[in-house]
Amino acid sequence: MDQLTPEEVERIKNIVEMYRYLKDLLIYSEELEIDTFLPAINEIRDAFDHLMRVFAVKNGLKEENDGYEMRNLDASFDHIYRATYEMA
């Protein structure tokens, strides 16, 4: 597996931090029995898809041009951010 760059590591850290905040909101909504999960779940699914694209490149399963990994990490973060916004 190709090594992650420091910039990629930082972006993954941001994704994980935002996801942890989102997860807290999802659990709180569940406790309140609020059924507003679908938009957030769709965003989480899309974020996961972007992460898998990055890991496919890093594991040599897919070849892409320069910047592909960061573009997909940015897209993943954006989806998690939108999911969090939907739940807030």
Kindly list the averaged pLDDT for each block of 10 residues, start to end, along the chain of length 88: 88 98 92 83 97 95 92 98 92
Domain that holds residue 32: 13-87
Overall domain count for the chain: 1
Tell me, yes or no, if the pTM score tops 0.75. yes
At residue 45, the pLDDT reads 97
At residue 36, the pLDDT reads 72
Q: Evaluate whether residue 8 is within a structural domain.
A: no
Q: Evaluate whether residue 38 is within a structural domain.
A: yes
Q: Evaluate whether residue 76 is within a structural domain.
A: yes
What secondary structure does DSSP assign to 8-67, as a single string? HHHHHHHHHHHHHHHHHHHHHHHHTT---HHHHHHHHHHHHHHHHHHHHHHTTS----TT
Q: Evaluate whether residue 4 is within a structural domain.
A: no
At residue 1, the pLDDT reads 60
